[in-house]
């Protein structure tokens, strides 16, 4: 087998491809499985921690509602507010505190202190304990001064009451301290402290992690431990390098990796506490499932390798056969047989490629036929242009004879008009000359305007402001007259007097000629004005020849066919557009094309609307002060 054959290359590459990928796949699979397992573990734990967060929020909500019993019991609060101190008040206070204790099964005891009567009440195991003429328990009072606070986990105390054999042993609790205000003022009537057993948290957290393998922490906004499996950490600042202020910020959640462990955290926000729930998962615990998955994948990869090697030869032959057939078709097309019947037997990618190649050849053949038709149409248009090129000597001589007859009959005005027509005829006789001076162009336009003035009974005025230094500039022949003609074809309002046509020329820059034709006619619709400017800009991008005399205004030049009068008429707002008056009318796009071909420098033509109505055509032509 020769190496330059695709079949040889395919077999060799496929055999290599069955060895290198297999070995690398084992490593990649291990990494991918680990990453997938890590991502899956993170997602599962995020959902688990999220559920635990809501359970803890519900517990804090219930605790908050229980502490509000002092306000929701209207009769008790009014008596407390007015400073009542009798047996009935004592009974009401005990009833309210007993309701608090029984509202949650994990409430250990409830402590209340009344500032006005200096009395402390402690309800533990539904039994009341009172202390008269005493100060508030100092730790509780210190927390209450800061508003509603939850004291981090600690071993329960008796709030300064003498120990009793009836009390149960001290247990880990966290305490809600709430000052009692004389609402709506901020005057303190007393304080309330509710001890909640740590079991209220542990019953929820035990379902969130695997003990002895993972760790779970609940810390408050100050970094103190509310819950941890290690009881020595309870109530103390959590001294962990991964703990940061950002982690303790409210309304945060997410995950991070630190010291070969994954961490998932959720913030727990409630009116009485801002906690952060953090779960730590060592990677060594996660890799147990990954290693088992790796062994299973290695067995599958070994089997797959054998199957791939066995299928390599069959695949290479199956793929290369239709490719070789397609190459034979290409050789026939290269030899000139364009109508090759390309047979496609397969429906795979090679078959699709063969179908696309067949469709491409059909498109190419159609384009060749279309190109022949376009070439034929261009020849026809050139023939029509040549037919319109007949020199008007006969018409010029006839006009001279008619003018002489007009003078004999004492009609000088008719003679003047005939002279203007003859002047225009003579100007158009020089078909072999494609350029003219601006003076010749202006004279030609003056003759044209003289005839139009007679036709429209002087319904318009002409204002010419021509810089004398610009008259010697050479420009393409028939540049001004087509632009002026557009005013009479599309812009002149024949029903009213006061039409204005202003023609100016000046130096826009030392080497740039500016020609402007402005009228106060109907104007052009904004959308159609934009369309016409786009066409003029497109005409201005025509490749410029190195010599300006290469292509100019020549009747037999296909470039003169670039613009259609019918297309220009559709751009004007006036619906009563007159029919064509001259087959020699040159469109604006044609003028722009000839200006571009005239000079080796860029030329531009811009149409603008004139307020309140009218149109301005501005030409910029870089001529370098060329003269005759």
Find the DSSP H helices in 109-237. Answer: 138-144, 199-205
| pLDDT given at position 219 | 94
Could you tell me which of 440, 512, 510, 482 has the C-alpha nearest to residue 594? Answer: 482
| pLDDT given at position 175 | 95
Condensed to tens digits (0 to 9), the pLDDT of residues 497-535 reads 788 999 999 999 999 999 999 999 888 889 998 998 888
Do 286 and 214 form a contact (C-beta atoms < 8 A)?
Answer: no
Residue that wins the pLDDT comparison between 290 and 531: 531
Sign, CA torsion 300/306/312/318:
negative
Evaluate whether 42-52+205-285 and 63-200 have a shared fold.
yes
Per the prediction, the chain carries an average pLDDT of 80
Residue that wins the pLDDT comparison between 599 and 209: 209
First and final C-alpha spacing in the chain: 76
pLDDT for 363 beyond 80: yes
Residue spans per domain, the chain:
42-52+205-285, 63-200, 430-622
User: What whole-number distance in Å separates Cα of residue 257 and Cα of residue 265?
Assistant: 11
- With 0-12 / 13-18 / 19 or more C-beta atoms within 10 angstroms meaning exposed / middle / buried, residue 595 is buried
CATH topology of domain 42-52+205-285: Beta-Lactamase (3.30.450)
- With 0-12 / 13-18 / 19 or more C-beta atoms within 10 angstroms meaning exposed / middle / buried, residue 512 is middle
| pLDDT given at position 583 | 31
Q: State phi, psi for 63 to the nearest 5 degrees.
A: -65, -40
Name the band, by pLDDT with cuts 50, 70 and 90, for residue 557. very low
User: What whole-number distance in Å separates Cα of residue 320 and Cα of residue 1?
Assistant: 14
Output the pTM of the full model. Answer: 0.47
Could you tell me which of 175, 85, 77 has the C-alpha nearest to residue 132? Answer: 85
- Largest interatomic CA distance in the chain: 152
Mean pLDDT calculated for residue range 554-564: 38
* Strand arrangement of the beta sheet that strand 512-519 belongs to: 460-466, 499-509, 512-519, 615-622, 603-609
Do 516 and 503 form a contact (C-beta atoms < 8 A)?
Answer: yes
| pLDDT given at position 58 | 94
CB neighbour burial string for 373-408, b if at least 16 within 10 angstroms, e if fewer: eeeeeeeeebeebeeeeeeeeeebeebeeebeebee
Do 511 and 594 form a contact (C-beta atoms < 8 A)?
Answer: no
Mean pLDDT calculated for residue range 488-495: 81
Name the token pair of 52: 């635990």
pLDDT for 164 beyond 50: yes
Residue that wins the pLDDT comparison between 457 and 255: 255
| pLDDT given at position 381 | 55
Residues 6+ apart with CB under 8 A from 394: none
pLDDT for 53 beyond 80: yes
The CATH architecture annotation of domain 430-622 reads 2-Layer Sandwich (3.30)
| pLDDT given at position 625 | 62
Mean pLDDT calculated for residue range 243-265: 81
The CATH architecture annotation of domain 63-200 reads 2-Layer Sandwich (3.30)
Mean pLDDT calculated for residue range 311-336: 77
Q: Position of tokens 């004492």?
A: 410
Name the token pair of 236: 């103390």
Could you tell me which of 494, 415, 417 has the C-alpha nearest to residue 454? Answer: 417
Find the DSSP H helices in 388-512. Answer: 393-408, 412-429, 438-455, 480-486
| pLDDT given at position 551 | 34
| pLDDT given at position 328 | 79
Residue that wins the pLDDT comparison between 614 and 387: 614
| pLDDT given at position 361 | 81
Condensed to tens digits (0 to 9), the pLDDT of residues 108-160 reads 999 999 988 899 999 988 888 888 888 999 999 999 888 999 999 999 999 98
């Amino acid at each position: 087998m020769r190496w330059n054959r695709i079949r040889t290359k395919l077999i060799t590459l496929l055999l290599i491809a069955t060895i290198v990928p297999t070995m690398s796949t084992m490593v990649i699979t291990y990494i991918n499985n680990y990453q997938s397992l890590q991502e899956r573990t993170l997602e599962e734990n995020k959902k688990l921690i999220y559920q635990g967060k809501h359970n803890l929020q519900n517990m804090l909500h219930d605790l908050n509602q229980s502490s509000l019993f002092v306000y929701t019991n209207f009769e008790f609060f009014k008596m407390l507010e007015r400073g009542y101190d009798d047996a009935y008040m004592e009974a009401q206070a005990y009833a309210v505190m007993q309701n608090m204790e029984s509202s949650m099964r994990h409430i250990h005891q409830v402590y209340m202190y009344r500032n006005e009567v200096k009395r402390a009440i402690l309800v533990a195991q539904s039994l009341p304990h009172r202390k008269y003429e005493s100060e508030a328990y100092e730790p509780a009072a210190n927390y209450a001064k800061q508003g509603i606070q939850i004291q981090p986990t600690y071993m329960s105390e008796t709030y300064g009451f003498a120990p009793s054999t009836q009390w149960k042993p001290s247990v880990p609790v966290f305490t809600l301290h709430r000052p009692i205000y004389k609402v709506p003022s901020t005057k303190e009537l007393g304080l309330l402290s509710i001890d909640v057993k740590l079991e209220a948290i542990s019953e929820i957290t035990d379902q969130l992690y695997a003990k002895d393998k993972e760790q779970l922490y609940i810390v408050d906004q100050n970094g103190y431990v509310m819950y941890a499996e290690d009881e020595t950490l309870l109530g103390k600042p959590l001294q962990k390098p991964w703990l940061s202020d950002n982690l303790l910020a409210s309304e945060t959640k997410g995950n991070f990796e630190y010291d070969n462990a994954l961490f998932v955290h959720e913030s727990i926000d409630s009116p009485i506490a801002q906690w952060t729930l953090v779960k730590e998962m060592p990677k060594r615990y996660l890799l147990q499932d990954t290693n088992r998955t790796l062994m299973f994948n290695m067995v599958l990869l070994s089997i797959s390798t054998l199957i791939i090697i066995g299928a390599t030869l069959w695949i290479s032959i199956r793929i290369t056969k239709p490719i070789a057939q397609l190459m034979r078709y290409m050789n026939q097309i290269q030899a000139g047989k364009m109508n090759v019947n390309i047979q496609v037997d397969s429906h795979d990618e090679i078959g699709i490629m063969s179908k696309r190649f067949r469709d491409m050849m059909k498109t190419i053949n159609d384009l060749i036929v279309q190109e022949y038709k376009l070439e034929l149409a261009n020849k026809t248009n050139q023939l029509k242009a040549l037919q319109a090129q007949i020199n008007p000597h006969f018409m010029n001589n006839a006009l001279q004879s008619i003018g002489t007859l007009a003078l004999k009959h004492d009609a000088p005005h008719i003679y003047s008009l005939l002279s203007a027509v003859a002047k225009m005829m003579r100007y158009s006789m020089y078909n072999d000359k494609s350029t003219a001076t601006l003076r010749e162009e202006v004279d030609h336009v003056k003759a044209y305007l003289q005839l139009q003035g007679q036709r429209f009974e002087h319904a318009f005025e002409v204002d010419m402001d021509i810089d004398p230094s610009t008259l010697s500039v050479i420009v393409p022949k028939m540049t001004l007259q087509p632009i002026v003609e557009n005013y009479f074809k599309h812009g002149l309002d024949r029903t009213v007097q006061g039409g204005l046509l202003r023609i100016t020329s000046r130096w826009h820059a030392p080497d740039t000629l500016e020609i402007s034709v402005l009228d106060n006619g109907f104007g052009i619709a904004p959308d159609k004005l934009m369309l016409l400017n786009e066409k003029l800009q497109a005409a201005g991008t025509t490749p410029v020849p190195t010599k300006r005399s290469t292509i100019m205004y020549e009747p037999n030049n296909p470039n003169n066919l670039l613009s259609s009068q019918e297309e220009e008429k559709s751009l004007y707002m006036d619906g009563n557009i007159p029919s064509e008056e001259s087959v020699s009318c040159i469109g604006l796009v044609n003028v722009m094309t000839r200006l571009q071909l005239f000079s080796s420098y860029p030329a531009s033509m811009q149409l603008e609307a004139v307020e309140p109505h009218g149109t301005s055509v501005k030409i910029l032509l870089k001529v370098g002060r060329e003269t005759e």
